[in-house]
Amino acid sequence: MVFEFFGNATSVNVMGKEVFIDSLIIGILIMIVGVILARVISILFKRYVSANLPENTSKNFHKIIYYGIIMITLLAVITSQGIDLSGLMVAGGIFGIIIGFATQSVVSNLISGIFLIFDRPAKVGDLIEVTNSKVYGKLMEITIFSTRIKLFDGSIVRVPNEKIFTSEIRNVSGSEVRRIDATLGVAYREDIDHVIEVIKNSLEKQPYVLREPEPVIETVSLGDSNVNLKVLAWIPWNEWDRVGPVLLKVIKKSLDEKGIEMSFPQRTIHFAENTKNPAKPLG
């Protein structure tokens, strides 16, 4: 940018364009107002919005907002001085199209990340399942381009935001309670009402199984070798590790103590006697 003062000192030459001093002063004032506005909005963002966002995401959004306002203000100053940017805009448009085709996935992940941050289907620390990607674990962070989920084996998976945003998300921690389902089979000879009573008593002794909603034990089907029962018990969502892996073990031990048989596949074979041609003894 070249400045050339004319003899009357009322205008300057900026990139071949005569710009009057008073217009230049107005442009400087617009730039100052833009910088102040950028700082004020940044402060408000930090105070009222960033507290609900992950640290890295908050920093990225803060930079985007601040420098975005500065760039818009700079363009407003340039156009206010009557400087023609049409040639630059055309070249920038062509370059932007080329970059757009090359970075479609990046832009898609960026936009999806923005929507996820404001939509907030889950918060950091929640257990979530991304159905389409078959990922199940603890949500660690939602960044601008990707989401990080910690699996139960301790590894961390990075999932692009586009896949998160377009997938069904099951938030296990979205409710205060969670239901455990277990299916078991008992022998036909057993008294079903007695079996149900034994199972209920064993569940009542478990400290993390809730009394309200009350556990439900129902008969779901009559199998080839057993009567199938389904056990539905509610627990606090964060106590799954204490109850889920041992629930069937507790029920099995309580049934064993009462002498109740849990059936297994059986077959009864009947041999028809051949009365017409009885088999002759060997020898």
pLDDT, tens digit, for every residue of 256-279?
A: 998 988 877 666 677 766 555 555
Work out the pLDDT band at 6, boundaries 50, 70, 90: very low
At residue 52, the pLDDT reads: 62
Query: What is the share, in percent, of the chain residues with pLDDT greater than 70?
Result: 72
Same domain, yes or no, for 140 and 159? Answer: yes
CA distance 132 to 119: 19
Q: What is the CATH number of the domain that holds 133?
A: 2.30.30.60
Q: Looking at residue 230, what is its pLDDT?
A: 92
Q: Could you tell me the CATH number of the domain that includes residue 206?
A: 3.30.70.100
| Residues 246, 219 share a domain | yes
Question: Same domain for 167 and 180?
Answer: no
Q: What tens digit of pLDDT does each residue of 132-161 get?
A: 778 888 888 887 788 889 988 889 998 888
Residue at 42 is within a domain: yes
The amino acid sitting at 214 is E
pLDDT at residue 1, rounded to an integer: 46
Judge whether 267 lies within some domain. no
Tell me the C-alpha to C-alpha distance, in Å, between residue 210 and each of 108, 126, 234, 237: 44, 21, 6, 11
Per-residue pLDDT band at 244 (split at 50, 70, 90): confident
150 and 198 in a common domain: no
Question: How much is the average pLDDT of 232-251?
Answer: 83
- How many separate domains does the chain show? 3
Range of the domain at 15: 3-84
Over residues 64-79, the pLDDT tens digits come to 777 788 888 887 777 7
Contacts of range 129-133, beta carbons closer than 8 Å, 24 or more positions apart = 129/169, 129/170, 129/172, 130/159, 130/163, 130/164, 130/167, 130/168, 130/169, 131/167, 131/168, 131/169, 131/170, 132/163, 132/166, 132/167, 132/168, 133/159, 133/163, 133/167
